[in-house]
Copies of this chain bind each other. A is one copy, B any other.
């Protein structure tokens, strides 16, 4: 089937995309590196989200080295970036496959070349089940696994399969959830009852056990370690029971967990000794760009646990540059950047650097600078009286760090990749 995704490897960019030079002709992604643009030279309109190549490459390599050391594999969560070009970098670096949250996201991952897809979510609807089957039929080498957490869901899957007798069995993992949590079975007994029902039916094969520890993370190593171990003990117990009772139908049992907050703690528990081949799959997604907010806070105790020096582990790889448009109150500058441009769901953006109009080298910003609010298209930058002499001026450019990559990527169709001197050396597209 022809598909727009076929063009994603070298799509056309034009000035209807936020951040594309306003007066230039449309250009293929592959031509961007040759254009000679520099963000600080004013070659691209602001606001603009940029990815720092060196930091991205460092993060991709660092995480891949980590999982190798832990004896497990990486199935990075693609929902974070939804960028086929970034998916490729992750796959080329050795990722087992891509994790996604929806069947639409799976289609983008498959178009980007992924041949193993883990849908870290319950699939329940006919449209989604049919979509998976279609992809399996189109790509004989594709493996797709998704989560089940209730008999009610399994009923829907079995009913669909009964209506589609030529369909392939779905590969599923049982999700282990927690009380006061989100999805996932709450008890060992529920897990076993579900595993038995999967085994008894023809619609699905049980290939692994999954959980998500991220919602219990606090950023304090003691409680986070305890939380992880209690949760992973439950995963182990279910997996052991399923092995002992022949409930898995796979040559290799998948055991998966891992958000981006305490991934080191679950990683140590993803290869339990089950007496059968086990593949541990870590699903972190935000590691790719890291951030200057939520995940930076979680990384500090994580670095301490791993014995990493500052900068040795993950580095913030995304900045949003914006222009000061109005300074009509003391201690207030309005920047032309808002909820349409940068994440605001977990914390406000962090001012990182400034560049006066015409300057091509950024300098630091006073520690008192902070974004106190965002409207759709505006940001409110404030500072303490002590920094009055360093106040921003109209036309000045300011760089902001993000908190939560997932909700920044989804506000852009493309991002230039920049060198440390802000020369544009590549570009990626997002496909939300």
Residue A103 CB within 8 A of the other chain: yes
User: Smallest Cβ distance from A155 to chain B, in angstroms?
Assistant: 8
Asked whether B378 lies within 8 Å of A328 as measured between CB atoms, the reply is no
Asked whether A121 lies within 8 Å of B336 as measured between CB atoms, the reply is yes
Asked whether A406 lies within 8 Å of B376 as measured between CB atoms, the reply is yes
Asked whether B21 lies within 8 Å of A127 as measured between CB atoms, the reply is yes
Contact of A103 among B22, B25, B325 (CB under 8 A): B22
Asked whether A325 lies within 8 Å of B127 as measured between CB atoms, the reply is no
Given contacts A42-B127, A152-B327, contact A107 B15 (CB under 8 A): yes
Residue A196 CB within 8 A of the other chain: no
Asked whether B42 lies within 8 Å of A150 as measured between CB atoms, the reply is no
Max chain B Cβ within 10 angstroms of own Cβ: one of A103, A185, A336: A336
Contact of A377 among B102, B179, B184 (CB under 8 A): B102
Given contacts A16-B3, A394-B124, contact A130 B326 (CB under 8 A): no
Contacts of A108 in B (CB 8 A): 16
Contact of A183 among B3, B153, B378 (CB under 8 A): B378
Interface residues in A1-22 by Cβ distance below 8 A to B read: 1-5, 12, 14-19, 21-22
Which segment, of A56-64, A200-208, A339-347, faces chain B? Answer: A339-347
Q: List 18 A-B contacts (CB under 8 A).
A: A4-B26, A16-B104, A18-B432, A22-B127, A22-B131, A42-B126, A45-B103, A45-B125, A79-B376, A124-B323, A124-B394, A124-B395, A149-B328, A153-B326, A182-B326, A183-B328, A339-B345, A340-B410
Asked whether B182 lies within 8 Å of A380 as measured between CB atoms, the reply is yes
Contact of A329 among B179, B407, B431 (CB under 8 A): B179
Considering the chains assembled together, what is the distance between the CA atoms of A16 and B106 in angstroms?
9
Considering the chains assembled together, what is the distance between the CA atoms of A323 and B177 in angstroms?
19
Excluding A121-B336, A152-B395, 15 further A-B contacts by CB distance (< 8 Å) are A1-B25, A2-B25, A3-B14, A18-B104, A22-B127, A22-B130, A45-B103, A45-B104, A46-B125, A122-B336, A124-B336, A149-B328, A152-B327, A153-B395, A184-B328
Q: Which residue of B lies closest to A374 (CB)?
A: B345
Asked whether B22 lies within 8 Å of A134 as measured between CB atoms, the reply is yes
Q: Which residue of B lies closest to A179 (CB)?
A: B329
Contact of A152 among B186, B394, B410, B411 (CB under 8 A): B394
Contacts of A156 in B (CB 8 A): 357, 394-395
Q: Interface on chain A toward B: helix, strand, loop, or mixed SS?
A: loop
Residue A231 CB within 8 A of the other chain: no
Residue A44 CB within 8 A of the other chain: yes
User: Smallest Cβ distance from A144 to chain B, in angstroms?
Assistant: 13
User: Smallest Cβ distance from A359 to chain B, in angstroms?
Assistant: 14
Contacts of A127 in B (CB 8 A): 21-22, 42, 44-46
Given contacts A121-B336, A329-B180, contact A23 B130 (CB under 8 A): yes
Query: A120-145 CB contact bits vs B (8 Å, 1 = yes)?
Result: 01101111101100100000000000
Contacts of A344 in B (CB 8 A): 345
Q: Which residue of B lies closest to A380 (CB)?
A: B182
